[in-house]
């Protein structure tokens, strides 16, 4: 599957093929990502605003929407076929280990949620089910921008 990878700070992301782990772990959910937002924090990460990035190369994106394709053992808040928002703030559910993606034979770093990839393995507590009639194009805003602003108000 295709993913946008941060290989070097202050450089464009590289679009390349990566491989999912062979199986998903306890508390993990496989999501087909339909839409992703990009947050100012992600732009700052690309631009190394806070200094050198110790986790290169890695996947980015922490606000998106998609459809659940598979659930790991222990998952109870989402099921296959659910439409979901992927978000950086933890909510109900299991905090699973971070996924181990493979890029050209090497492990690719990733957090509990990534959205700059066609499919993502996400920790259960980083997903919220949305109604079938909710516009998935605007749903990523709920994953970061709206929740961050809500915390300020």
Q: Which domains does the chain have, with CATH numbers?
A: 2-152 (3.90.180.10)
Find the helix or strand (DSSP H, E) in which 86 lies.
strand 83-87
Q: pTM, whole model, 2 decimals?
A: 0.91
pLDDT class of 144 with cuts at 50, 70, 90:
confident
How does pLDDT run across 86-95, given as a tens digit for each residue?
A: 998 888 888 9
Per-residue model confidence (pLDDT) at position 147: 62
Tokens matching residue 115: 């959205």
The per-residue pLDDT for range 105-141, each reduced to its tens digit, is: 999 999 989 999 999 999 999 999 999 999 999 999 8
Query: What is the per-residue pLDDT across 38-87, written as a single tens digit (0 to 9) for each?
Result: 988 889 999 999 999 899 999 999 899 999 999 999 999 999 999 999 99
Cα 69 from Cα 121, distance rounded (Å): 10
Sequence-distant (≥ 6) Cβ neighbours of residue 17 within 8 angstroms: 1, 2, 3
Contact 83, 136 (CB under 8 A): yes
Statement: residue 151 has pLDDT above 70: no
Query: What is the predicted pLDDT for the residue at 153?
Result: 46
- Can you name the residues that pair with 33 across neighbouring β-strands? 66
pLDDT for the residue 143: 80
């Amino acid at each position: 599957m295709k993913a946008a990878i941060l290989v070097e700070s202050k450089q464009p992301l590289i679009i390349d093929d990566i491989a999912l782990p062979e199986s998903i772990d306890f508390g993990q959910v496989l999501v087909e990502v339909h839409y992703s937002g990009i947050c100012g924090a992600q732009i700052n990460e690309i631009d190394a605003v806070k200094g050198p990035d110790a986790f290169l190369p890695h996947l980015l994106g922490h606000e998106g929407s998609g459809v659940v394709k598979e659930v790991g053992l222990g998952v109870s808040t989402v099921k296959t076929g659910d439409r979901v928002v992927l978000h950086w703030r933890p909510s109900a559910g299991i905090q699973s280990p971070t996924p181990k993606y493979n890029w050209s034979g090497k492990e690719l770093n990733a957090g509990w949620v990534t959205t700059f990839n066609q499919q993502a393995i996400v920790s259960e507590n980083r997903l919220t089910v949305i109604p079938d009639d909710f516009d998935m194009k605007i749903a990523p805003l709920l994953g970061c921008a709206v929740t961050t602003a809500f915390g300020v108000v």
